[in-house]
Chains A and B, each alone.
Chain A
Amino acid sequence: MDYIWEGFKEALKLLIGFDKEVYGIIFLSLIVSTTATIISSLLCIPIGIHLGVKKFRGKKAFSRVLYTFMSIPSVIVGLVVAIVLSRRGPFGRFDLLYTPKAMIIAQTLLVTPLILGLTYSLSKSRGKEIEKIGRTLGGNRMDIIILTIKELKLDLIVNVVTAFSRAISEVGAVMIVGGNIKNRTRVITTTISMMNSMGDYPMAIALGLVLLIISFVINSIIYSYSGED
């Protein structure tokens, strides 16, 4: 049991002492996941809202496919992005594999179905009423999308935070496309996984604590917006 206690003490030392490597990893994790969530939100929220209220052929099939992709395993996303970005792949000439950019691409693809699906479902259930009012008061398509986003703002924030939570806590995609390279593509989850296999617990515990704090903050935001205690 001593090694666990020692691990905690070392972990706190690393955090309190502002260890450069630990904070570099935390910073990269936040940058990658935040960027991926922002890109995906900007693309998917307007599209999800529009598709949710629009009648179109094959809407049921579209819903099923979308909901399936919401739970796509991160390793599959990582594998697909790695294949596409590898030297022999269609985007190999951009030399993106094993860079933070590749990690952002992978996480964007990972959270896109989640944000699109959650927004689409929200718009399908509550957007119709808003769309109806917007239309009868003279709004055009863009006015109505903006109105719906404003009206569903709180639920959309919860959806975005949920997607961020998925991005920051996933390990498969960033491990495959980032390669867990020291001082370059190492993020919280890949480092914890590596440190655990090496038996080096202090840094793993320190990063685990940070991930827990991030999760706590995310959940606090979700619960405060959804009005629960």
Chain B
Amino acid sequence: MQVSVKNLKRYYFEKLVLDIDNLTMEKGKITGIIGPNGSGKSTLLNIVAGLDDEYLGTVEYNRQLINKNIYRKMTIVSQKPYLFRRKVYDNIEYPLKVRKMKKDKIKMKVDDIIERFEIEDLRDKRAHLLSGGESQKVSLARALVFEPRLLLLDEPTSNIDPESIKIMEREIVRFNEETKGTVIIVTHNMEQSRRLCHDIIYLEEGKVGY
């Protein structure tokens, strides 16, 4: 899914925090958004995710404005993910259940992603009691299980162990290569953006640097 942003302005209490004339994130690519704290990275991601609608300008997805159909084809993983107060398995199956997928297919898909994320030992644990790294892995697995056309990641690997980061990066790349799903990732980590991204956007004081 291609994402185009035009004449985007976002104010917080009369302060302009985001000011982008024209920006396109290409379909099927991994685009990194980097920049210092307060540069508007997460604000931009929330707007693209449809979670923030108090902006001026337009955001288009494959040349369409946001609608229910587009909404169901994308998802966001945040830095501090909220996991439901139920088992890890139940968390991961949720996006498939709301899409009315058949039970046996759900089981197959959830089992597969649990194996790929190497979280078999967490399968029956209560998700809200997991550690930071475990939560991030479960959250990413829950986002990838329904193969979205647009995956938005807000610093998904900050403050977690290197082994978990390795697994998550591997699965993000695999998702992009296998499904051609578009990924937009906000990160502080330059090395990570070089490892993962096809394109990098630099934001500073709400504007695109280069």
Interface centre among A133, A136, A153 (most CB of B within 10 A): A136
CB of A136 within 8 A of CB of B49, answer yes
Main secondary structure of the interface of B (DSSP, over half): loop
User: Which of the residues B51, B84, B86, B99 comes within 8 Å of A136, measured between beta carbons?
Assistant: B51
B146 near A: Cβ within 8 Å?
yes
- Whether the Cβ atoms of A138 and B146 lie closer than 8 Å is yes
Question: Interface-forming stretch among A66-74, A99-107, A139-147, A182-190?
Answer: A139-147
Contact across chains for B98 and A151 when beta carbons are under 8 A apart = no
Judge if A6 is at the interface, Cβ distance under 8 Å.
no
Q: CB of B194 within 8 A of chain A?
A: no
Residue in A132, A137, A153 whose CB lies within 8 Å of B95: A137
Q: Report Cα–Cα, A72/B39, bound state, in Å.
A: 49
B75 touches A138 (CB 8 A): yes
B85 on the interface (CB 8 Å rule)?
Answer: yes
Residue of B nearest to A153 (CB): B85
Are A130 and B82 in contact, with the CB atoms below 8 A? yes
**A150 to B91, alpha carbons, bound, how many Å?**
12
B75 and A137: CB pair below 8 A? yes
The CA of A153 and the CA of B86, in the complex, are separated in Å by 11
- The reply to whether the CB of A95 lies closer than 8 angstroms to some CB of chain B is no
How many Å lie between the Cα of A133 and that of B95 in the bound state? 10
B72 at the binding interface (Cβ < 8 Å): yes
User: Which residues of chain A are within 8 angstroms of B84 by Cβ–Cβ distance?
Assistant: 133, 147, 150-151
Closest chain B residue to A132, Cβ basis? B51
Judged by a CB distance under 8 angstroms, whether B106 is at the interface is no
Q: A132-B51, A143-B98 are in contact. Are A138 and B82 (CB under 8 A)?
A: no
Interface size class of B (residues with CB under 8 A): 10 to 19
A137 near B98: Cβ-Cβ < 8 Å: yes
| B94 is an interface residue with CB less than 8 A from chain A | yes
Interface majority SS (helix, strand, loop, mixed), chain A? helix
Q: Give B87 Cβ to nearest chain A Cβ, in Å.
A: 13
Q: Does A21 sit within 8 A of B, measured CB to CB?
A: no
A54 at interface (Cβ–Cβ under 8 A)?
no
Is the C-beta of B71 less than 8 angstroms from some C-beta in chain A?
A: yes
Residues of B with C-beta under 8 A to A200: none
Give Cα A138 to B95, complex, Å.
6
**Is there an interface contact between B51 and A138, defined as CB atoms closer than 8 Å?**
no
A29 to chain B, nearest CB (A): 34
Specify which of A129, A130, A138, A153 is in contact with B71 (CB 8 Å cutoff). Answer: A138
Residues of B23-67 at the interface with A, using a CB-CB cut-off of 8 Å, are 49-51
Known: A132-B51, A151-B84. 4 other contacts (CB 8 A): A133-B84, A136-B51, A136-B75, A147-B84
Q: Which residues in A have some Cβ–Cβ distance to B below 8 Å?
A: 129-130, 132-133, 135-140, 143, 147, 150-151, 153
A-B contact pairs, 22 of them (CB 8 A): A129-B82, A133-B82, A133-B84, A135-B51, A135-B71, A136-B49, A136-B51, A136-B74, A136-B75, A136-B76, A137-B94, A137-B143, A138-B72, A138-B75, A138-B95, A138-B98, A139-B94, A139-B98, A143-B98, A147-B94, A150-B84, A150-B86
- Of all A-B residue pairs in the complex, the 9 with the closest CB atoms, nearest first, are A137-B95, A138-B72, A139-B98, A143-B98, A136-B75, A133-B82, A136-B76, A129-B82, A138-B98
